[in-house]
Amino acid sequence: MDKKLIVVGVLLLAFLFGGGGILVVGIGIVAGMAGSVNAFWDEDAQDEDTGPLPPGTVCDPGGESIAEYVPGYGYYVVTPEQMGHAATIVHVGEGKDVPEKGLVIAIMTALQESKLDNLDYGDRDSLGLFQQRPSMGWGSEAQVTDPVYAAGAFFGGPEPPTPPGLLDTAGWEQMAHGDAAQAVQLSGFPRAYDKWQSISGKIVGRAQDIECDGVGVGGDVGKVIQAARSQLGVQYCWGGGDANGPTYTPDCPRGVSEGFDCSGLTLYAYAQVGITLGHYTGLQWNAGKRVRTYEQLRPGDLMFYRRQGTDYIHHVSMYLGDDQMIHAPRTGSPVEIVSDVSKSFYMDTFIGGSRLIEDGDDTARASVRPGTATPGLTGDGAPDLAHPAPWAAPRGERAVARARRSA
């Protein structure tokens, strides 16, 4: 609600009904209403960007995508994951008061450099959405592959952590879009950015409506969470998922071409930071450091559940923080986020967690070590067939167990 609209509305009433007394009362009403309408003003203020996003922020596109013909390139589809990255760039820019032209320039740049994919490879040591080079002072590998940091470095500004960004470029607002991108990137192909201007304008318009969740963690943990959340809405497939994403299996439901099961999703998320997990709940239970209670969980930790009334572990999810988790639940239910986990029925069968990235390990690939010894499992997580194992794989993983037993 706008204060000016309130004042004008009251004055208009005064004019319509006439009389100075009404006007005086109207002004009094405005003053008296101040406390009441502050709630509305504060609510509006909360909807605006008030500062930079924290590292590891995740922007959930909710399935949003864009398709358009790009001159000189061809038909191009921006996937939901890429839209999430675009939203991160846009919201970082808005936090720096970058006008819309600057937001479009940033998206043009990221489309040309990486197609809005957060690349962990490139020419020489170029990495991330903007193919920024650690050797040229843009930041560490972990920093330039954090979309929040990378976008902030591209925009630059009063306290640039890197070489000059867009806001540090004199006269950029008067430059052609592609020329401004080139002024930051210093590319060997200065005209390559131009073709992306039209679709970038549409992406910015859509991205401004995408909500971003500042998970408050950076480095590898932030990347793991972002990887898992990028798969929201992907269907459940028994045995589905690998380090590259969802896969097809003969047990995918009819009409589903690819998907994840519970351990396939967590396997994929951790693979994005170089951590290899087995495609098996039992193996993941014995990886990392044991977390014994729900209250001790931290973002990125894996959560495990046993079958009701048994000691068999049958399901895994990932803790996101703020009493939320993400998982691939079951056939017919896509990857989803569950809120208020501590009050949910999942707690009836929750038995503990595993931490795969140690505290403060924001840059190095964390080592995955066996967890607390568990009867029925050897230290490396493989079944000890001389004893009954205290877990059972969910439907999506029993084929793996059968293969192990027959080997």
Query: What parts of the chain have a pLDDT lower than 70?
Result: 1-58, 60, 62-63, 158-161, 213-218, 359-407
- Each residue of 33-54: pLDDT tens digit? 333 333 323 333 333 333 556 6
Instruction: Determine the pLDDT at residue 121.
Output: 80
Instruction: Determine the pLDDT at residue 217.
Output: 54
Beta-sheet strands, E only, within 122-257: 211-213
Provide CB contacts within 8 A for 77, sequence distance 6+: 65, 66, 67
Instruction: Determine the pLDDT at residue 161.
Output: 61
Instruction: Determine the pLDDT at residue 245.
Output: 92
Q: Please count the other Cβ atoms lying within 10 Å of the Cβ belonging to residue 312.
A: 18
Q: Are the CB atoms for 291 and 280 separated by under 8 Å?
A: no
Q: Where are the alpha helices (DSSP H) in 139-196?
A: 141-144, 147-155, 177-185
Tokens coding 55: 């590292």
Rounded to a whole number of angstroms, the distance between the first and last alpha carbons of the chain is 68
Q: Are the CB atoms for 286 and 343 separated by under 8 Å?
A: no
d(Cα 327, Cα 267) in Å, to the nearest integer?
12
- Each residue of 292-315: pLDDT tens digit? 999 999 999 999 999 888 878 999
- Each residue of 210-266: pLDDT tens digit? 877 654 456 788 889 878 887 888 899 999 999 999 999 999 999 999 999 999 999
Please state the three-class secondary structure of 25-85 as a single string.
HHHHHHHHHHHHHHHHHHHHHHCCCCCCCCCCCEEECCCCCEEEEECCCEEEEECHHHHHH
Beta bridge partners of 67: 77
Instruction: Determine the pLDDT at residue 358.
Output: 76
